[in-house]
Chain A
Amino acid sequence: AQSVTQPDIHITVSEGASLELRCNYSYGATPYLFWYVQSPGQGLQLLLKYFSGDTLVQGIKGFEAEFKRSQSSFNLRKPSVHWSDAAEYFCAVGADDKIIFGKGTRLHILP
């Protein structure tokens, strides 16, 4: 069955520090992978997507993610976080006519 696992429920980093959010997926075919961000009380905003080609994809707000087929992973990274990055981050895989989401990782930023 298709699934997405985000092993970290909460992550806390200091402002200016680097960030990596983990994501593993289970999908039989070539995956279409997404990272979305949700600020409190808001909808979801697409950060980046991977469909094919270069396995390192760049997104908005300085985020990037790397697709590793051998590890079934699609980790999200940012070299230096800002206080405004505090939010919940969802990894997702496109499957048939729907998107399957992980449970999310809530990012906290220390001043």
Chain B
Amino acid sequence: NAGVMQNPRHLVRRRGQEARLRCSPMKGHSHVYWYRQLPEEGLKFMVYLQKENIIDESGMPKERFSAEFPKEGPSILRIQQVVRGDSAAYFCASSPLPGGENIQYFGAGTRLSVL
């Protein structure tokens, strides 16, 4: 049973370009979470999705960031018109059940560098 798969592992973008980060949850998991880790910081929650629904996006920046988890295929975190401050590691996690009391399994992350 493969774990949470994220790709790409590393992504380099120039300012103003778009970044697309993909996350395939563990088999049987329908709950996906995205977190951002800035240098020297812990992980900060961004968004929680179930299939075709955004459940909680309280941690998402209001502009340029969006997320989806379609019926088929991976979850996508999309950052439009990237700026240097978007440089960070973005982690996806999945769980079989909802709620903070359930274990979330993390992928290896996508490290975004904005030039």
Residues of A within 8 A of B (CB): 4, 32, 34, 36, 41-46, 49, 51, 90, 93-104
Residues of B within 8 A of A (CB): 4, 33, 35, 40-45, 48, 55-56, 59, 91, 93, 98-109, 111
Residues of A contacting B107 in the complex (Cβ-Cβ under 8 angstroms): 43
Residues of A contacting B100 in the complex (Cβ-Cβ under 8 angstroms): 32, 93-99
Distance to closest chain B CB from A65 (angstroms): 15
Given contacts A90-B42, A104-B42, contact A98 B101 (CB under 8 A): no
Contact B45 A98 (CB under 8 A): yes
Distance to closest chain B CB from A101 (angstroms): 4
Contact A103 B109 (CB under 8 A): no
Contact B103 A49 (CB under 8 A): yes
Contact B56 A103 (CB under 8 A): no
A101 vs B108: C-alpha distance in the bound complex, in angstroms?
Answer: 17
Contact B48 A97 (CB under 8 A): yes
Contact B103 A97 (CB under 8 A): no
A43 vs B100: C-alpha distance in the bound complex, in angstroms?
Answer: 19
Given pairs A36-B106, A45-B106, 18 additional interface contacts (CB within 8 A): A4-B42, A32-B101, A43-B91, A43-B106, A43-B109, A44-B43, A44-B91, A93-B100, A94-B101, A97-B56, A97-B100, A98-B33, A99-B35, A99-B100, A101-B35, A101-B42, A101-B43, A101-B44
Contact A98 B59 (CB under 8 A): yes
Contact B41 A103 (CB under 8 A): yes
Q: Which residue of B lies closest to A102 (CB)?
A: B42
Contact B42 A103 (CB under 8 A): yes
Contact A99 B104 (CB under 8 A): yes
Distance to closest chain A CB from B4 (angstroms): 8
Contact B41 A94 (CB under 8 A): no
A46 vs B109: C-alpha distance in the bound complex, in angstroms?
Answer: 15
Distance to closest chain A CB from B15 (angstroms): 24
Q: Which residue of A lies closest to B107 (CB)?
A: A43
A44 vs B4: C-alpha distance in the bound complex, in angstroms?
Answer: 11
Q: Which residue of B lies closest to A45 (CB)?
A: B106
Residues of B contacting A45 in the complex (Cβ-Cβ under 8 angstroms): 106
